[in-house]
Amino acid sequence: MIDKIRSADRRRVSLLTSVGDRWGALPKWQKAIGVVALLVFVYHLPYLGKLPGGLMIPGLNNLRTDSIEGGNNWAGVLFICAIYVLVAIGLNVVVGLAGLLDLGYIGFFAIGAYSVALFGSVNSPVVKWIQQEFNLPPTWAVTWGICLLLAIVLTMISGVLLGWPTLRLRGDYLAIVTLGFGEIIRIVARNATGVTNGPVGISAIPGPEGPPSADNKVFGLIDAKPWYWLAITFVLLMVILVRRLEHSRVGRAWLAVREDEDAAAVMGVYPFKFKLWAFAMGAALGGLSGFLFGSRNAFIDPTQFNANLSILFVAMVVVGGSGNMIGVSLGAVLLAYLPERFRDFADYRWLVFGLAMVLVMILRPQGLIPSRRRARELKDRAAEAEEAPAHV
């Protein structure tokens, strides 16, 4: 059985390689048409399987989460998929490019969500305190756009503050420290009742049109399509940014540190500085995703930011293919979409998830769509492991 699965996986890899080679051989104008077609498809996804006259396309309609009994809103699930893709891209900078195991990424996600809640909601203790101190009207709060900048700045600062004393650690030690950071953020949010409202949470979190209201014509609480389009736009912008960073001097330094930190230091790369860069950039993307999550939900509380979600974030990167943005994006979509589509198996969700992780690690340790560099590394290590007994 295992041999058959491995054989099928080899055929899949061969097919993907062939498609990639053919894509690379296309002229630029054909690639441009392909990219535009892909963008049209991505933005059209909320209407998947639906025709303008209200007719359904059976094959495509069955992919929608609202095609099953008790299924969630399709556009809302797409929004969560886009948020998770943004998370996976940010975590891929830390784990995939810089080689740092971060198990507390949920902390940055929570800081981003609480940034818009604490400064943008009229129900926030922070906003109420500012209103009293400066004699402002009860409807005053920081605008959504300013909260966006605050979320990015605050999460970058938190990434630097976390990384400065801890990035001298490696491997499991760093993982434990980051896991503790994520739990610290959740516990502080739960216990700091005078700042975060504690377990009660914060409501009336604003969106681009302001606080939740029946007057909001685009970004309301019912129609999730505009929120999905907003999130996917941020995803595309961050993909461009991270891609340029990956191919810059900073990105090459990250890869050097990931492959061999000591050798990178000997060659003139200062590992600590570039690892701190990776933590700051990854934290900013995590904060941005949390910011969008809080804005869309219009309510957050500490229970939404638990360690299980942080482990899920890491699983997205590992399953999809560490170091490859397409791979981690696929992993994020699968882990966000499949549980919603197959809600009939909700009682066995974690069992199936665990079995799938074990199979992937056994059959495809480099992930579903790994980076070519990462795949070569694992192949070389496997060859070294096979040759080791011969030299003993």
Where do we find the tokens 């809103």?
73
Distance between CA atoms of 283 and 184, rounded to whole angstroms? 16
What confidence score (pLDDT) does residue 392 get? 45
Residue 150 is given by DSSP the state: H
The pLDDT tens digits for 213-230 are 888 889 988 899 999 999
Which phi and psi (to 5°) does residue 71 adopt?
-75, 155
CB 86 within 8 A of CB 333: no
CA distance 307 to 327: 23
Assess contact for 362 and 119: CB atoms under 8 A: no
Tokens in use for 372? 């070519």
| Cβ atoms of 253 and 236 closer than 8 Å | no
> Any idea of the CA torsion for 33, 371, 175, 82, to the nearest 10 degrees?
20
pLDDT of the residue at 205: 95
Tokens representing 256 are 């050097």
Helices marked H in 93-170: 105-120, 125-133, 144-166
For 204, the 3-state DSSP assignment is coil
Query: Nearest to residue 382, comparing CAs of 362, 368, 354?
Result: 362
Distance (Å) of CA 139 to CA 128, 132, 221, 291, 301: 10, 12, 20, 21, 22
CB 96 within 8 A of CB 175: no
Interval 369-383: pLDDT, tens: 877 665 566 565 556
- The answer to whether 192 and 198 are in contact (CB under 8 A) is yes
Q: How far is 323 from 320, CA to CA, in rounded Å?
A: 9
As beta bridge partners, residue 210 has: 207
Q: How many residues would you count in the chain?
A: 392
Task: List, for the chain, all residue ranges whose pLDDT scores fall below the cut of 50.
Answer: 391-392
68 half-sphere exposure, CB direction, 13 A CA radius: 14
Distance CA 288, CA 113 (A): 8
Longest dimension (CA), the chain: 79
Find out whether 102 and 318 touch, Cβ atoms under 8 Å: no
369 phi, psi to nearest 5 deg:
-130, 80
Contact call for residues 58 and 302 (beta carbons, < 8 A): no
